[in-house]
């Protein structure tokens, strides 16, 4: 069976996956953009947005790995857009413009039905109102034997973790303090859920951690793996 994989999900040192006060102008919340300072310079991201160049190395290895063998995505509604409640119309077409970087079917969790939305480049947003199990079932069918990537946000990842549906989870821990925000681990007992820490590597901008749920395989990409993490906090 194909795996459900979380990749390149960035959190602050406190475990926040987004800053406070998320909005149309600040989709990642106040200060949340700093969580992705490791990802934006990579060759993988620069190619996603149509620019040339970009940095290679540890960060790019992890960024690129998240797109390998992926046949479908699952997103929480906030990852699709800022609209809350019933859809007033179908004018909102996602954060990425007319050609999003997914290039496969994307299943958006929502409480409000909406017709599928086909975009350029192979992306089609399909809106799922029946919950996480239905979204994963539909995504696996669409993926045709390839893996499914769970994009977030934090609340959506928590739902799938509680349901023990996540096989692999790659976290990028940024050296950032947000103070408040969307806490990834809120209300979760990771030991009870069978989450195990597997590997760690780090770059200038992030520490990359690999976690598995139950006994799923964690095939780390070829990077320089370190013995542990070292960091200093200045208090007061």
Topology of domain 4-85+94-213 in CATH is Dihydrofolate Reductase, subunit A (3.40.430)
Highest-pLDDT range among 30-34, 51-55, 114-118, 218-222 = 114-118
Would you place residue 214 in the very low, low, confident or very high pLDDT band (cuts 50, 70, 90)?
A: low
The residue among 209 and 160 whose pLDDT is bigger is 160
- Is pLDDT above 90 for 51? no
Would you place residue 206 in the very low, low, confident or very high pLDDT band (cuts 50, 70, 90)?
A: confident
As a whole number, the mean pLDDT across the chain is 86
Q: State the pTM of this model.
A: 0.87
> What token pair was written down for 127?
């809106």
Q: In the chain, pLDDT over 70 holds for what percent of residues? A: 87
The residue among 204 and 61 whose pLDDT is bigger is 61
Q: What angle do CA 194, 76, 34 make, to 5 degrees?
A: 85
- pLDDT attached to residue 181: 95
- Residue 48 backbone zone (phi > 0: left; psi -120 to 50: alpha; other: beta): alpha
> What token pair was written down for 199?
């590997």
Lowest mean pLDDT among 38-52, 136-150, 171-185, 222-236: 222-236
Half-sphere exposure for 63 (CA within 13 Å, toward CB): 22
Task: For the chain, give every domain's residue range.
Answer: 4-85+94-213
- If you write DSSP's letter for every residue of the chain in order, what string do you get? -PPEEEEEEEE-TT-EEE-SS--SS-TT-TTGGGGGTTTTTBHHHHHHTT----B-SHHHHHHHHTTTTEEEEEEEHHHH-S--SS-S-S----TTTTS-S--SEEEEE-SS----EE-GGG-EEEEE-S-HHHHHHHHHHHHTTSEEEEEE-HHHHHHHHHTT---EEEEEE-S---SSSEETTTT--TTTTTEEEEEEEE-SS-EEEEEEETT------S--B-S---------
Q: What is the pLDDT of residues 124-178, one digit of tens each?
A: 999 999 999 999 999 999 999 999 999 999 999 999 999 999 998 888 889 999 9
Long-range CB contacts for residues 116-121, cutoff 8 Å, separation at least 24: 117/90, 117/93, 119/93, 119/94
Q: Helix 154-162 vs helix 132-143: angle between axes, to the nearest 10 degrees? A: 90
Return d(Cα 126, Cα 194) in angstroms, integer.
Answer: 31
- pLDDT attached to residue 50: 81
The residue among 216 and 201 whose pLDDT is bigger is 201
């Amino acid at each position: 069976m194909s795996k459900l994989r979380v990749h390149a999900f960035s959190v602050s040192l406190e475990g926040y996956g987004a800053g406070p006060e998320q909005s149309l102008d600040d989709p990642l919340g106040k200060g949340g953009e700093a969580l992705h300072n490791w990802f934006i310079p990579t060759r993988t991201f620069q190619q996603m947005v149509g620019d040339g160049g970009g940095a290679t190395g540890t960060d790019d290895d992890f960024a690129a790995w998240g797109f390998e063998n992926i046949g479908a995505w699952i997103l929480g509604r906030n990852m699709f857009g800022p609209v809350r409640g019933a859809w007033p119309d179908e004018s909102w077409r996602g954060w990425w413009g007319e050609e999003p970087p997914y290039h496969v079917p994307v299943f958006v969790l929502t409480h409000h039905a909406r017709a599928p939305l086909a975009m350029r480049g192979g992306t089609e947003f399909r809106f799922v109102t029946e919950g996480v199990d239905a979204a994963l079932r539909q995504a696996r069918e669409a993926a045709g034997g390839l893996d499914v990537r769970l994009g977030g946000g934090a609340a959506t990842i928590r739902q799938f973790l509680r349901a023990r549906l996540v096989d692999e989870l790659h976290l990028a821990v940024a050296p950032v303090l947000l103070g408040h925000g969307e806490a990834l681990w809120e209300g979760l007992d990771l030991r009870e859920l069978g989450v195990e820490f597997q590997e760690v590597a780090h770059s200038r901008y992030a520490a990359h951690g690999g976690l598995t749920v139950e006994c799923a395989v964690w095939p780390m990409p070829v990077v320089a793996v370190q013995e542990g993490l070292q960091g200093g906090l200045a208090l007061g």
